[in-house]
Amino acid sequence: EAVMRTRLLVVAAAGLFCGSTVTPAYERQASPIALATQECWGQLKGKAQVEWYGHLRKIDEPARADSVMASTARSVAQCVATATGSQEADIQRIVDAFVKHRFAQPRSG
């Protein structure tokens, strides 16, 4: 847990030096939930899940693709709850917005 808190502080510090215009409003918050969401996304290989989702969509498997997105959102929310030691209602709202934004990103290539 100490490692997670240290990483959150590093992410928060880095965020102060980055332009806030490139991130959606819900990610610009320096709240522990928003920071933990970003950290958990990386830990749970969110980018790979987005790629798998895109592949399933491409081969016309929308139900399986939606299942991947829902499962990823649940996993990230559980990770955030554990990392922050909280069960706040904001966790689900922030995680849902974050995950939906990531899965909606246009795929290159």
The string of pLDDT tens digits covering residues 2-48 is 555 555 544 444 443 333 334 555 555 578 999 999 999 999 999 99
What integer pLDDT is reported at residue 88 of this predicted model?
Answer: 86
Q: Rounded to an integer, what distance in angstroms lies between the CA atom of residue 37 and that of residue 31?
A: 10
Res. 78 pLDDT band, cuts 50 70 90: very high
End-to-end CA distance of the chain: 37
Cβ-in-10-Å burial (0-12, 13-18, 19+) of 23 comes to middle
Tell me, yes or no, if the pTM score tops 0.85.
no
